[in-house]
Structure 1
Amino acid sequence: MTLQASTLLRASLASNSFLKVLNVKIIDSLASGAAEIAAVRRDIHAHPELCFEELRTADVVARQLTGWGIPVHRGMGTTGVVGIVHGRDGGACGRGVGLRADMDALPMQEFNTFAHASQHAGKMHACGHDGHTAMLLAAAQHLSTHRDFDGTVYLIFQPAEEGGGGAREMIRDGLFEKFPMEAVFGMHNWPGGAVGTFAVSAGPVMASSNEFRIVIRGKGSHAAMPNMGIDPVPAACQMVLAFQTIISRNKKPLDTGVISVTMIHAGEATNVTPDSCELQGTVRTFSTGVLDLIEQRMKAIAEHTCAAFEAQCEFEFSRNYPPTINAAAEADFARQVMVDIVGADKVLAQEPTMGAEDFSYMLQAKPGAYCFIANGEGEHREMGHGGGPCTLHNPSYDFNDELIPLGGTYWVQLASRWLNTPARA
């Protein structure tokens, strides 16, 4: 970052709207150090790395942590980094809490042209993982300096959230055995809400992510003589419509589920009935029971529809990320921390989304909570941003650096208060 850019960034963060206008209790050291952490965030944004390729990003994270006297463990889940911050007791009490940020980018082209735009074609931090990393780094710097708690804070910088299941891989590598913690917490920026607000709720907050592939094998023929073949296209059309009856007639109305057929491939010529037709798509649910029902019914409908049309059926169903379900006690704990920072009116109920998140694997293994921190409407973006909206997975997105001291404050207060509160029986 150039001196001029650094000066402008510092001035921008110093005039931070929510710090001056809203009654938000930001930790002083995080406010004063926000520009330096924002510079790290923008460096990461300019050098995005895809899942399990986060070598440079992991180097940046490890270098920052080591510079602040924080021991690091590297290579967990391939490229993950875990920082270990012992409290004033040196961690002797044996208690621990985990804070998680993701590090990977998306395989998409960035439209922004400002100074910190991606330098790698086809790769972009379009989901704000650069900002998540920055907020946790900001907290790490403060925690390493003050250590006003007993026990240990584990800083989890996770790779491969975007489809790679990095959380699962870190767990398989012994994350919770090597770093024993009572609970684990995660946070994601959420565009569209006013800066200075949070959202957290108990129960399901993000859906499971699952994919299906169905191949209908018929018998090709001349389109003028369809009776000579077995046309897979009508079978596919019947199948697509029938799948929606699972949602409307098999699933309980109060349960949530989505079946989306997003790809249909068949044929190469207008005068030829194709030999086969392939369907692909996704299924989202908030519970394993609903998912079991949908998979069973989809398989039965696919196979019997093909049989009715005298076609053959190949049915594949892949379960990717499970639903993200917040534990009630930990969600309430996180809410109280947020209320003390921004006030009760700015801590909202977390509206569940059918998007998926691999932090769900961590919540299957440990109690914890996953929250949202509002990223604003996009006014924070500098000149040279793309013409699209500042929404997640959009080529014109950019993380709002105003969140760095706010998110960092949340992490610090959450961890220190957790460890300074008597352990639950």
Structure 2
Amino acid sequence: MPIVNRIAEFADDMRTWRRHLHQHPELSLDCHQTAAFVTERLREFGVDEIHEGIATSGVVAIIHGQGEGPVTGLRADMDALPMTEETGAPWASTVPGRMHACGHDGHTTMLLGAARYLAETRNFTGSVALIFQPAEETIGGGRIMVEEGIMDRFGISEVYALHTDPGADLGVIATRPGPLMAAVDDFELRLTGRGGHAAHPDQCVDPIPCALAIGQALLSVPARNLDPLKSLVVSLTTVQGGSATNVIPETVYMAGTVRSFDADVRDMAERRMREIVAGQAAAYGLTADLDYQRNYPPTVNHADQTRFAAEVARGVVTTVDEDIAPSMGAEDFSYMLEARPGAFVYLGQGVGASVHHPKFDFNDEAAPLGASYFVKLIETRQPLRG
């Protein structure tokens, strides 16, 4: 694979960075140690500007090229997951209950590799904005960085990102124009009746039958309320109620997630959930407290930028798939794609344990490929004028 020669020369450094980051995972917005490591490397590379403390611990670095031109943003996420690692690797997490199980240590490393090369060579016009983002896994650090004005503040005209894919061979790049990942909404529901002795249900208002009816009705929404040519997932993932065989509980707690691509489908799903909960609660004589939260919007790639990203990828890897199936997973890069044109791609790292699995580990062989892809995006989009 045609990795940029200079990046291949410091691939061992990238491996060292990545394994250091893997050993020191941080959660949500609290990525201060990671950000400090990033800024230390960026200063060593000689980037022109470093802006810290965006979205609490996010960093934006600016590298100026030669002459006037646009500003292209490249984004990497930095946060880890609250999981216990089971890889057994010498560089495994040193923090109990935390691990880099989604490859964000690799994403950060790839962007650092691109930063080092771009700061050394500056074979491009305009500028590049390197966006190191916290809290992708939780509250949407991408949203917060956009709300704090990074696109206007740094004059970013387009934005690109990638994500490692342990379900694809090393070096495969895959993407698609239009919806790539789904919007994600979460719900929590508390049903309250009147508890008591299970031998005397007539003296109680039992929330469990109502919970069962609601669960069945919710799972029927995609099958009976949706155009069959559209996509919707309603998953009931938590049901908690009762603690003894001879006690009817006072309350039942339920929670789950809803995934969709289209705004009208998203609206319908929330409306039907509220109708079902209200109707069933009334039928069973209970009170219902439903908290429905709309979270990440769908990740929608822009057509022109996706074609461009695929074209660039063909110069870096041997296999490019421009028409993969959309995923019901979610990604807060969606907020950046709402703010600016751009594209999100997957980079195969070799088939292994899936992301969010305790045995997942980023493949360091993929890092020079990702860094080369980022570099070629900039040099191709903003070429020097002869």
- TM, length-normalised to structure 2: 0.97
Which of 210, 218, 226 pairs up with 1:251? Answer: 226
Q: How many Å apart are 1:114 and its aligned residue?
A: 2.2
How many Å separate the matches in 2 of 1:421 and 1:227?
81
- Give the secondary-structure state (helix, strand or coil) at the position aligned to 2:325: coil
How many Å separate the matches in 2 of 1:148 and 1:318?
45
Q: How many Å apart are 1:361 and its aligned residue?
A: 0.7
Which of 377, 383, 386 pairs up with 1:420? Answer: 383
AA aligned to 1:69 is G
AA aligned to 1:85 is I
2:54 is aligned with 1:80: no
How many Å separate the matches in 2 of 1:131 and 1:27?
18
2:347 is matched with 373
1:52 is matched with 29
2:333 is aligned with 1:359: yes
How many Å separate the matches in 1 of 2:155 and 2:327?
30
Structure 1, unaligned stretches of length 5 or more?
1-23, 379-389
Which of 405, 408, 418 pairs up with 2:368? Answer: 405
2:370 is aligned with 1:392: no
1:278 is matched with 253
- TM, length-normalised to structure 1: 0.88
2:278 is aligned with 1:315: no
AA aligned to 2:321 is V
Question: Which residues in structure 2 correspond to 1:175-214 (within 5 Å)?
Answer: 175-214=150-189
Q: How many Å apart are 1:138 and its aligned residue?
A: 0.8
Which of 13, 19, 24 pairs up with 1:36? Answer: 13
Is the contact made by 2:66 and 2:384 (CA closer than 8 Å) also made in structure 1? no
- Give the secondary-structure state (helix, strand or coil) at the position aligned to 2:113: helix
Is the contact made by 1:350 and 1:372 (CA closer than 8 Å) also made in structure 2? no
Q: How many Å apart are 1:288 and its aligned residue?
A: 2.1
2:103 is aligned with 1:137: no
Deviations 1:174-233 (A, max 9, x none): 211211111101100011211111001101111112111112221223211211221111
1:155 is matched with 130
How many Å separate the matches in 2 of 1:232 and 1:52?
38
How many Å separate the matches in 2 of 1:58 and 1:342?
30
- Give the secondary-structure state (helix, strand or coil) at the position aligned to 1:260: strand
How many Å separate the matches in 2 of 1:94 and 1:418?
10
1:64 is matched with 41
Q: How many Å apart are 1:338 and its aligned residue?
A: 0.8
Q: How many Å apart are 1:32 and its aligned residue?
A: 1.1
Is the contact made by 1:212 and 1:315 (CA closer than 8 Å) also made in structure 2? yes
Q: How many Å apart are 1:393 and its aligned residue?
A: 0.8
How many Å separate the matches in 2 of 1:204 and 1:164?
21
Is the contact made by 2:123 and 2:384 (CA closer than 8 Å) also made in structure 1? no
2:77 is aligned with 1:99: no
Is the contact made by 2:71 and 2:127 (CA closer than 8 Å) also made in structure 1? yes
Is the contact made by 1:339 and 1:346 (CA closer than 8 Å) also made in structure 2? yes
AA aligned to 1:360 is S
Q: How many Å apart are 1:351 and its aligned residue?
A: 2.5
Aligned-residue identity in percent: 43
Deviations 1:280-317 (A, max 9, x none): 11111112221110000010011001111121221110
After TM superposition, the runs of 4+ consecutive aligned structure 1 residues lying more than 6 A away are: none
1:221 is matched with 196
Q: How many Å apart are 1:421 and its aligned residue?
A: 9.2
How many Å separate the matches in 1 of 2:238 and 2:284?
21
How many Å separate the matches in 1 of 2:255 and 2:384?
49
